[in-house]
Chain A
Amino acid sequence: AQSVAQPEDQVNVAEGNPLTVKCTYSVSGNPYLFWYVQYPNRGLQFLLKYITGDNLVKGSYGFEAEFNKSQTSFHLKKPSALVSDSALYFCAVRDRDGANNLFFGTGTRLTVIP
């Protein structure tokens, strides 16, 4: 079975400070991992993915995420938050050898305070 946990429903951070949005996953095999962002009244947009190789993945808008196999985590990070980063963030996982659909977490609402 595959599952994703985003333990924080809401994350608040001051503009200019580093941000972290947490994600842990569970798959029976090796994972594909993704982060998506949803801005108000918009569809989900792809941010970044981990498929294989370097554990540190860089994506759009200055975001990055680190795959940690031992902790089964894939936390999203950004060194300096912008007000425009305020949005709903979803982590997703797929087992390489499992079903073809992605399993999504419940989302974390990020608010960057000016």
Chain B
Amino acid sequence: GAGVSQSPSNKVTEKGKDVELRCDPISGHTALYWYRQSLGQGLEFLIYFQGNSAPDKSGLPSDRFSAERTGGSVSTLTIQRTQQEDSAVYLCASSLIALNYGYTFGSGTRLTVV
């Protein structure tokens, strides 16, 4: 597609429920990243996919967080048993394999856990 598409744009969920956030990267971008933006915070790296390589999960804050990328394209970030501190904007970005091209970000999913 023309840009990075994320869905839903907003999600309100009850504490303890599971949520899935979707990212559809730019066609041809082999690298895909998930970041979290909390109020007053910078962007917190969560996970990185590059082609068929094993993902870099070093930024996932707990084992309640997981992500997958199917067919080297669409990615899903899953948060199990959501907590109020998970409330944030979740941003997805994609890039060409060479990082010096920089990222293209989606508009994000605003997650609110009540």
A44 on the B face (CB < 8 A): yes
* Total number of B residues with any Cβ neighbor in A under 8 Å: 25
Interface stretch (choices A12-20, A66-74, A79-87, A104-112): A104-112
| A contacts with B: majority SS | strand
A46 contact from B31, B33, B102, B108, Cβ within 8 A: B102
Instruction: Indicate if A34 sits at the interface (CB-CB under 8 A).
Output: yes
Q: Does B65 contact A (CB under 8 A)?
A: no
Mask: chain B, 12-47; 1 = CB below 8 Å from A; 0 = not: 000000000000000000010101000011110100
**Which B residues touch A102, using CB under 8 A?**
33, 45, 99, 103
Most chain B CB neighbours (cut-off 10 Å) among A32, A42, A46, A101: A101
Additional A-B contact list (18), CB under 8 Å, known A32-B100, A94-B99, A99-B56: A4-B42, A36-B103, A42-B107, A43-B105, A43-B106, A43-B108, A44-B91, A44-B93, A44-B103, A46-B102, A46-B104, A51-B100, A100-B56, A101-B48, A101-B56, A102-B103, A105-B42, A107-B42
